[in-house]
Structure 1
Amino acid sequence: MSDGFPSALRTLETSIVSVDGVSYAAVTPDGMAVLARPEQLNAFEGSASECDGKRLLVGHRSAANLEALRSALSWLRPQPLGLRTSVGFGDRLGVATPGHIAAMRCDGVGISPIFAQQSIREMDRTRRAPREVMDDATWAVFCSGWREPFGADADHLKTEEDVRRCLRVGYTLWTIDPGDHVDSIADTATADQLKEKFEQLPWSELADTPEALLRRYRDRSFGIEHHQLVMNEISAVHAAVKYGRAVAHTHTLVSLIRSDLGSDGWELEVAIDETDQVTSHLEHIYIVLELQRLG
């Protein structure tokens, strides 16, 4: 026996672990086994039998069993990675994560992996659900015996429905893509057009007024490493017209996430990398400061 599992059971050696008197293992080709006292098996589903004074449960790699594994084994739960150097692996089909883990073990010193990462667009194209993405990553981490922190990215979320699909799954990084709300003609608009667009921004959603925004940014200097960037009234109006609605939309989605998950245990990324327009340094500053102001 290995950790109490019968030798006839085809357990995957790298997965076997015992915690608090309970032993867990992946079983080839696509199952799992848990050896424990009867009351410790309540969260798992499968067929149970007596084994050396305990109960041996053998089940499929089901969503319920993977959720139970995440509850039992803390290292299977994704974590916020903060400012650590990280790599999003983006296993699009849910079969490549074992290779990603092998690569991390070989050359991943100083890198924190994001094993579960897929955009809603990619999920739709590959016909995967957010929980499938999480479950496939969980299974690979479990089978490979990975114990280090890793993240999970609900990537390029554009709508409230996108966010709702990913809630309660365990994602720790939420990437909001407000690109559809970027004003695509701001860069070529005339002064009169910018003024009109500025006045028509959703000021109530931004909890702001045109006058207050100009007071905050007019003739304001920002030190970036060895450079000084100065925002004047024209660049402030331009940044607000170009990205004000994107900021408001991002805040709406963040509020939806926070209402469900609270304020802790997750982090935010804002992706504006799929627009036709370049985002200037001052525009980056505007976006960050406005999101900070809105909380």
Structure 2
Amino acid sequence: MFSKLPKQGISLGLGDRVGLATPGHIKVAKRYDFFPVFAQQSIRELNFTGRTFQDVKRDVERAAVKENYDGKSGFDGDHLKTDKEIKVSIDSGITMLTLDCSEYMGVDSKIKEQVYKKFYAKTFHIKDLTLEYTQEDLEKILSIYSGVIERIIYIWNHFPKVKNKEVSFEVSVDETNIPTDEKTHFLLSKYLYDEGITIDTLAPRFPGEFQKGIDYIGDIEEFKNSLTKHHKIASYFGYRLSIHSGSDKFSIYPYVHQITQGNYHLKTSGTSYLQSLKIIAQKDPNFFLEIWKTCLDKRKEMDKYYHLSCDPFSVPKDLKPIEYLNNHDARQTLHVSYMFVLNPNYDFRNRFFEILTKYESEYHMEVAEHIERHVRELRIPEKR
């Protein structure tokens, strides 16, 4: 069932923090023409939920049997940072490795001078892009990314399944406040390409804000311009762009389709958890409000793990439980409330699963309808 991602076309990282959402994802994958990644989890998510990669894999396999799904799916070890995390995920059978390079940004490297010499005073042309590297350009780029380049090379050389292309290899440089410009993207890709390293997808940091579970915040024209340049560079080197925190970004979906011509990876993991909270709000409003109160109590702790722009204390106190999910500050906050709701160390977990299991069919329909909206806005065609 699990396989590498396609080289071309549309793939969606769906993910399932809850362990019960995949039947809803399958309902959509059966109808529409995209490659699904049902199994997608980060170590951070696994630690909070008390699951393992094997649990994630098993939950997807069970859902496939239940829904009579005989298609393929990717298995993404998402935002992996350490060698240990990468080894555990590869040993668990992932088919996609998403390397999170955030901790190597701003780290000096042994190859810094070598990269500098390779690009200094050079000009490159890609279609209508002209990329000229001055001393100032290179000093700025390499002060942030030389350690990232070195880290990618290290992973390629030290994990045979990556180098032998047994797993799809994604490089993530989106976990930063600094948007990735075209000169940085090209330099990184060109150096890796010349070293014989072939990646399958790359997640740049786009301008604007890609916050959890809400629409894109920023200048759409600026995003379109950035996406166009990044797509040209990715196409030149033969890989696809990956858009992280891509769930609920409905205002930019038509442009993602148009600019990439249906050739991208987009991650939506996490939004299916919000649909589970929708069920909780409908079926047990008091329990939902307990969760919300704990969100307020845990706001500072959330900031240790997630970059959030929301202010949950500004949310009106007279909202009905279901209305919290339509408030941007509440929705972002609730998106990461899984940290304690699904955490075995808290007393929310049993009540949460008792309700969700009781109304499992309704939950699957909520997930399917929500993901189908994503798919329609992305202009993904139905299967013939």
Q: TM-score range by the shorter chain?
A: 0.5 to 0.7
Corresponding residue number in structure 2 for 1:96: 21
Q: 1:267 aligns with which of 165, 168, 187?
A: 168
Quote the offset at 1:261 in angstroms: 6.1
Q: 2:139 aligns with which of 226, 237, 262?
A: 237
Corresponding residue number in structure 1 for 2:159: 257
Quote the offset at 1:202 in angstroms: 2.5
Quote the offset at 1:262 in angstroms: 5.6
* Structure 1: distance between partners of 2:163 and 2:190: 22
Q: 2:109 aligns with which of 167, 178, 202?
A: 202
Q: 1:114 aligns with which of 37, 43, 60?
A: 37
Quote the offset at 1:158 in angstroms: 0.7
Corresponding residue number in structure 1 for 2:211: none
Conservation of the 8 A alpha-carbon contact between 1:167 and 1:257: no
Map 1:117-196 onto structure 2 (within 5 A): 117-183=40-106
Q: Deviations over 1:93-143 (max 9, x none)?
A: 22111100101223x22x111111011111111111111112211222233
Gaps of 5+ in 1: 1-75, 184-196
Counterparts in 2 of 1:213 and 1:78: CA distance versus 1, 3 Å: closer
Counterparts in 2 of 1:178 and 1:261: CA distance versus 1, 3 Å: closer
Conservation of the 8 A alpha-carbon contact between 2:4 and 2:166: yes
2:193 counterpart SS class: helix
Aligned-pair identity in percent equals: 25
Counterparts in 2 of 1:254 and 1:127: CA distance versus 1, 3 Å: farther
More strand by share: 1
Q: 2:186 aligns with which of 285, 290, 293?
A: 285
* Aligned-partner residue type, residue 155 of structure 2: L
Conservation of the 8 A alpha-carbon contact between 1:159 and 1:253: no
* Structure 2: distance between partners of 1:98 and 1:233: 53
Conservation of the 8 A alpha-carbon contact between 1:156 and 1:271: yes
Gaps of 5+ in 2: 198-384
Q: 1:86 aligns with which of 2, 5, 11?
A: 11
* Aligned-partner residue type, residue 5 of structure 2: P
Corresponding residue number in structure 2 for 1:219: 121
Conservation of the 8 A alpha-carbon contact between 2:116 and 2:138: yes
* Structure 1: distance between partners of 2:65 and 2:157: 33
* Structure 1: distance between partners of 2:166 and 2:65: 22
Conservation of the 8 A alpha-carbon contact between 2:79 and 2:99: yes
When normalised by structure 1's length, the TM-score is 0.61
* Structure 2: distance between partners of 1:241 and 1:140: 46
* Structure 2: distance between partners of 1:215 and 1:160: 30
Quote the offset at 1:154 in angstroms: 0.6
Counterparts in 2 of 1:225 and 1:141: CA distance versus 1, 3 Å: farther
Conservation of the 8 A alpha-carbon contact between 1:119 and 1:154: yes
* Aligned-partner residue type, residue 282 of structure 1: K
* Aligned-partner residue type, residue 269 of structure 1: E
Answer with 1 or 2: which has the greater Rg.
1
Quote the offset at 1:148 in angstroms: 2.4
* Structure 2: distance between partners of 1:222 and 1:252: 26
Counterparts in 2 of 1:230 and 1:172: CA distance versus 1, 3 Å: same
Conservation of the 8 A alpha-carbon contact between 2:162 and 2:168: no
Corresponding residue number in structure 1 for 2:342: none
Conservation of the 8 A alpha-carbon contact between 2:77 and 2:97: yes
Corresponding residue number in structure 1 for 2:364: none
* Aligned-partner residue type, residue 46 of structure 2: M
Measured on the aligned residues, the alpha-carbon RMSD in Å equals 2.1
2:26 counterpart SS class: helix
Conservation of the 8 A alpha-carbon contact between 1:81 and 1:151: no
* Structure 2: distance between partners of 1:83 and 1:77: 17
2:6 counterpart SS class: coil
* Aligned-partner residue type, residue 130 of structure 1: F
More helix by share: 2
Conservation of the 8 A alpha-carbon contact between 1:80 and 1:267: yes
* Aligned-partner residue type, residue 234 of structure 1: E
Quote the offset at 1:175 in angstroms: 0.3
* Structure 1: distance between partners of 2:67 and 2:129: 46
* Aligned-partner residue type, residue 146 of structure 2: G
Quote the offset at 1:255 in angstroms: 2.9
1:98 counterpart SS class: helix
Quote the offset at 1:239 in angstroms: 1.4
2:146 counterpart SS class: helix
